[in-house]
Structure 1
Amino acid sequence: MRKTLATAAGALLALAASLLAAPSPAQADTQAAPGFHVADGRLLDATGKDFVLRGVNHAHAWYPTRTAQALKDVKALGANSVRVVLATGDRWTKNDTADVASVVAQCKENRLVCVLEAHDTTGYGEQDGAVSLSRAVAYWTSVKAAVQGQEKYVVLNIGNEPYGNTGYAAWTSDTADAVARMRAAGFRHTLMVDAPNWGQDWSFTMRDHAAEVFAADPDRNTVFSIHMYGVFNTADKVKSYLERFTSQHLPIVVGEFGNMHSDGDPDEDAIMATAQQLGVGYLGWSWSGNGGGVEYLDMATGFDASRLTAWGQRIFSGTNGIKQTAKEAGVFSDAGPATGSCAVSYNLSDWGNWFNADVTIRNTGTTAVKGWQLAFAFPGAQKLNSVWNAKAVQQGNEVRAGNESWTETIPAGSSVSFGFNGSSTGTNGVPAAFTLNGNTCTKS
């Protein structure tokens, strides 16, 4: 990842013809789509519900062995989505069909919408070794089997930051062509396209030509992604850019942003506040593993969810942060229990400065729960140590526990149990309330 400030006639003729035939973005209803789809400038999930991305980026291409735990951790911290870095094999080792399928399965297991992006296009035209969007389309075609049929759960981000600060005028025709080629190859997914200028669009190329690219998609199912770093260092710049899209009913997300950067100091508070105000999605960069002088963009130190950095604490727990604003996609939350259809028992064994707790979740509803997250708050100064039969993270006094593969399903009328030990100072006690997948459970 690098962030800096710093056409064929036939394709243009074809683009012009498509514009003459196409309705405006505000008028065009998307064709029937099997999963995520755009309607009137909004991203809707397969249930027809408005979906706003609230998540983070994870560098799977470089840290594949960290992915399983990373997805569990970001879900436990409240994210509803994750943007996953993949490699086409041109600059970094290719993430092949089997690997991509595994990533998708893990996203689904953790009830996370999976935004998959091909990273080898980063800085094309300026960065040595970067490849074109055309090459990215060839990559997606090669791994199509991993994502076909997953349109309810997966968004395809064709290529990361597909131009640097050289040759970016070709962005419009190249992006429109890439979208058209993805559709011709049979991809029905929502497609996401990044801005040029290392993703920051300081030239306003994407801003001023987004409608053309949207119209070039026969499915009218393309979302635009801006990366906000040093270019977006004031609230006015953030608001002006995002409102240009929303006012035209064009779907926009902040696909990457940070709390500081070598090219300037982005206004992360304005980014998050404006995104919340406008109902725009955001995906912060990045969970962990940054290098090359931007290690400060790590949200978790050493991939350890118990050691969140200031940036990690800000994006997850701050005002307009993920925990406060994220809502799970309808395809997942519709599968969860309704209020009153779960019961939790919490048996505490207290030995003064340390304790054990055995927790049982009972599904009192009529349908099975597949994939779960139990949230509660310690009533005092308790600290979580080891956990069994679940994965759990703690931030402040809040705890989020999620299933292991062997505790994933809770059949109707049945239960699963997990336990943990911890340390405490002062009076210990039982949490006052429990929520399962966002729904309140009774205490038993």
Structure 2
Amino acid sequence: MKRIPRVTWWASVVAALCAGFAAVAVAQPAQAATGFTVSGTQILEGNGTPFVMRGVNHAHTWYTSQLGSLANIKALGANTVRVVLSSGNRWTRNDAADVSNVIAQCKANKLICVLEVHDTTGYGDEGAAATLAQAADYWVSIKSALDGQENYVILNIGNEPYGNTNPAGWVADTKNAITRLRAAGFAHQIMVDAPNWGQDWSFTMRDNAASVFAADPNRNTVFSVHMYGVFDTAAEITDYLNRFRTAGLPLVIGEFGHNHSDGNPDEDTILATAQQLGVGYLGWSWSGNGGGVEYLDMVTDFDPAQLTSWGQRLFNGANGIKATSKQATVFGEQPSTSPSNWPPSDPPPSSPSSSAPTGACAATYRVSNSWPGGFQGDVTVKAGSAAITAWTVSWAWPNGQRFTNTWSATVTTSGETVTAKNAAWNGRLAAGATTNWGFTGTFTGANTAPATVTCTAS
């Protein structure tokens, strides 16, 4: 049984949480339509569709016989799995053939595959930990398994690559690893974990993210924070996530749990804020934890019929995977992720409702997922024959629906009337260009789409 060691450093945490943040907006050029790319804070698929990770971590390198778990993870609604690999520096090496098989199984189960080298965990604090340079060596050595998989695979260079010893060293080492992989010909989206065992309490990643992003010649790096005991209050969670939003940089929550040895994470705020901001998340972990953190298992003994309380919360709870996950479009049509006990008498997801295509902009309303008493929807805003600088979408709820969360728009309601205005970053649209905003909501009885959805622009 394996576990990630954690440490307690409350005095340092308190001091670090008082530090400021240098919010630097970074110009991000358009990317070629191959593989995942970055656009501001968003991760885009190769066809330009925004993709928000909703998934879990799976400890493959220690449980190579459990690759069948991917089908069970998918069946519970996930769209992404973060797969633990070993470079051989610390645990048994996963060779190119094994990695090829992992990717093939992810694709067969229509899961985006985030691959990470775990041997780097806690470098500086853990004597056996590998360096980021050694992780880069590993990726280069198995490049044959990764070539051509850019639409399906994201490379997470190394898990929690620094502990609490000299976290400032993370900056140069991360830049060097990124440039090394680009020089070797990797076109994949790259993910980088924070130092401080992934929790970035020193704000090293946060305050240097802009320069690390700029060091990637492809401008295609995503940042990953791990939220455990450091993130035990709503204020700490919302501040950290919103700082990246303000800086215009892409962030995912690469690991988090409902409890941990270093404190009690506020998982409800993590999930709600991630949903509100369109931030991806990957819970730790499917099964197989040991050494005192078995409570982080989502299922018992890799059995999907034995969901733990953590598994129930993450998959089936508010803002959880089942309610918010959307399958990557590279795999085709989104399957139904409604709960298995969804009664036939409940209404299925509704047909799109859209404004007339005349005028400066048009809006299309769509229910993308539904479950008893709740649903998820999205609205596509499309500019007309001329560019626009701002937009406003409005409608009247026909059946007393109410929002539980919204993201990528500023939304106000007055009784049944909904008014949504663009966020600061998605109001400007070229002629014919589109953007999306989304929401989750509740309903009773019917869940009919609004009869009329209007869009006005300036």
TM-score (normalised: structure 1): 0.72
**Cα distance, 1:333 vs. partner?**
2.6
Amino acid in structure 1 at the alignment position of 2:187: R
Is the CA contact 2:35–2:151 (under 8 Å) kept in the aligned structure 1?
yes
Q: Which residue of 2 aligns with 1:386?
A: none
Is the CA contact 1:122–1:160 (under 8 Å) kept in the aligned structure 2?
yes
**Cα distance, 1:376 vs. partner?**
4.8
Q: Which residue of 1 aligns with 2:311?
A: 312
The within-5 A match list for 1:5-404 is 5-6=8-9, 25-32=25-32, 34-68=34-68, 70-334=69-333, 376-377=340-341, 379=343
Amino acid in structure 2 at the alignment position of 1:51: F
Amino acid in structure 2 at the alignment position of 1:377: N
Q: Alignment RMSD, CA only?
A: 1.9
| Aligned mates of 1:322, 1:5 — CA distance in 2 | 30
**Cα distance, 1:104 vs. partner?**
0.2
Q: Any idea what SS the aligned residue of 2:304 has?
A: coil
Q: Which residue of 1 aligns with 2:451?
A: none
**Cα distance, 1:377 vs. partner?**
3.4
Q: Any idea what SS the aligned residue of 1:282 has?
A: strand
**Cα distance, 1:57 vs. partner?**
0.1
| Aligned mates of 2:322, 2:343 — CA distance in 1 | 19
Is the CA contact 1:33–1:188 (under 8 Å) kept in the aligned structure 2?
no
Q: Any idea what SS the aligned residue of 2:168 has?
A: helix
Is the CA contact 2:77–2:337 (under 8 Å) kept in the aligned structure 1?
no
Amino acid in structure 1 at the alignment position of 2:341: A
| Aligned mates of 1:374, 1:95 — CA distance in 2 | 35
| Aligned mates of 2:227, 2:184 — CA distance in 1 | 31
Is the CA contact 1:255–1:283 (under 8 Å) kept in the aligned structure 2?
yes
**Cα distance, 1:5 vs. partner?**
3.5
| Aligned mates of 2:231, 2:63 — CA distance in 1 | 29
| Aligned mates of 2:157, 2:219 — CA distance in 1 | 15
Which 4+ residue blocks in structure 1 deviate beyond 3 angstroms?
A: 372-380
Amino acid in structure 2 at the alignment position of 1:284: G
| Aligned mates of 1:374, 1:110 — CA distance in 2 | 18
| Aligned mates of 1:279, 1:378 — CA distance in 2 | 26
TM-score (normalised: structure 2): 0.70
Is the CA contact 1:41–1:249 (under 8 Å) kept in the aligned structure 2?
yes
Amino acid in structure 2 at the alignment position of 1:117: E
**Cα distance, 1:26 vs. partner?**
4.0
**Cα distance, 1:34 vs. partner?**
1.6
| Aligned mates of 1:169, 1:30 — CA distance in 2 | 31
Change (3 A) 1:378 1:176: closer
Among all aligned residue pairs of Structure 1 and Structure 2, give the percentage whose two residues are the same amino acid. Answer: 61
Give the count of matched residue pairs: 329
| Aligned mates of 2:50, 2:6 — CA distance in 1 | 31
**Cα distance, 1:330 vs. partner?**
1.1
| Aligned mates of 1:151, 1:42 — CA distance in 2 | 17
**Cα distance, 1:67 vs. partner?**
1.4
Q: Which runs of 5+ in 1 are unaligned?
A: 7-23, 338-371, 381-395, 398-444
**Cα distance, 1:31 vs. partner?**
3.4
Q: Any idea what SS the aligned residue of 1:276 has?
A: helix
Q: Which runs of 5+ in 2 are unaligned?
A: 10-23, 345-370, 373-458
Deviations along 1:279-317, one digit per CA (max 9) or x if unpaired, are 000000000000011000000000000000000000000
